[in-house]
Amino acid sequence: MPADTPILAESVMWQAIAETVDLFFPKGREERSGMKVVDLGCLEGGYTAEFARMGFDALGIEARADNFRNCNLVKENLGLPNLNFVQDDVRNMARYGPFDISLCYGLLYHLNDPVHFLKTVADSTKKLLLLNTHFAPEHDIRYYLGPVNRYFLAPIQKRTRFLEHQKNFRLSPITLHEGYRGRWYKEWNKHANKSKVEKILWASYNNNRSFWLCKKDLTKVLHNAGFKHVFEQFNFTGDLVPDHYTSRYNRTMFVALKA
């Protein structure tokens, strides 16, 4: 990493998560040792490890073999008995729960069934969901231009950022899916073989396109799934991601609580 890049444990992003957890859970390690946390799509297990360091019984779920090998390397070197990983699709999280806290950071917008998945998360979460995700903008004329945007405008804006106050993700027009509004996003070519998909470490795993819910629809899904209180948290930017991150990338952090 560049010398001035903070490690995850020292980042503003992690501190935002930790401060929120401290608001709703006791701080004693003995009390936390009986509480379970799941890190969904945990990549190399960074957040999972930090939850274990906080005293929680922490489980990271990761589908890709390369990432999972790195997770096990983290486990072997940290020596935390309350840190564990499993290689599986996050849609199977109910096999390992229920959990007091679910962390879904950078995952939801990679799924083609976000509504069904959030219901699964709600059923497996006893108290708190921390959700950091992109959402679909409701009004963006670029996404009604079809091939003109995908093959002409988007490549120009990627190189020059000309008139691009919000990133051009080449999304579809607004449509309904699972009963809610959003836009489709292409993750990878549907004809790509499994070995190639396996190596795209920051993309979806079992679906070649994903569905981004509109922000208002996303909050409705969370409420309907069983989270009584849904808040938006803003203090996760500043070092790993810039301050204008939420507006430029249509991405935010939600805190969802059961009754």
Q: Could you tell me which CATH number the domain at 8-138+212-257 has? A: 3.40.50.150
Instruction: Output 8 or 230, whichever has higher pLDDT.
Output: 230
- 98 preceded by a cis bond (ω within 30 of 0): yes
Sign of the Cα pseudo-torsion (106, 51, 36, 127, in order): negative
- Band (108; pLDDT cuts 50, 70, 90): very high
φ, ψ of residue 31 in degrees (nearest 5)? -70, -40
Instruction: Output 82 or 163, whichever has higher pLDDT.
Output: 82
pLDDT in tens, 156-212: 998 888 778 899 999 999 999 999 999 999 998 888 888 888 888 878 888 899 999
pLDDT value at residue 217? 98
pLDDT value at residue 2? 77
Query: Measured between alpha carbons, how far is residue 94 from residues 4, 48, 89, 119, 240 in Å?
Result: 39, 17, 11, 11, 31
3-state helix, strand, coil in the chain (%, to 5): 40, 25, 35
- Band (80; pLDDT cuts 50, 70, 90): very high
233 HSE (CA, 13 A, CB side) = 24
Query: Measured between alpha carbons, how far is residue 126 from residues 26, 28, 123, 151, 159 in Å?
Result: 15, 19, 8, 45, 45
- Band (111; pLDDT cuts 50, 70, 90): very high
Average pLDDT (115-138) is 97
Average pLDDT (8-14) is 92
Percentage, residues of the chain above pLDDT 90: 82
Buried b (16+ CB within 10 A) or exposed e, 216-239: ebbbbbbeebbbeebeebeebbee
H-type alpha helices, the chain: 12-24, 29-32, 46-53, 65-78, 114-124, 147-148, 154-160, 194-199, 215-225, 245-249
Q: Is the pLDDT of residue 1 over 80?
A: no
Q: What secondary structure does DSSP assign to 34-58, as a single string?
A: T-EEEEET-TTSHHHHHHHHTT-EE
pLDDT value at residue 203? 85
244 bridge partner residues: none
| Cα–Cα distance, 169 to 185 (Å, whole number) | 8
pLDDT value at residue 155? 92
Percentage, residues of the chain above pLDDT 70: 100
Mean of the per-residue pLDDT values for the chain? Answer: 94
Return the SS3 of 169. Answer: coil
Average pLDDT (65-81) is 95
Instruction: Output 28 or 199, whichever has higher pLDDT.
Output: 28
Are the CB atoms for 56 and 32 separated by under 8 Å? Answer: yes
pLDDT in tens, 210-252: 999 999 999 999 999 999 999 999 999 988 888 899 999 999 9
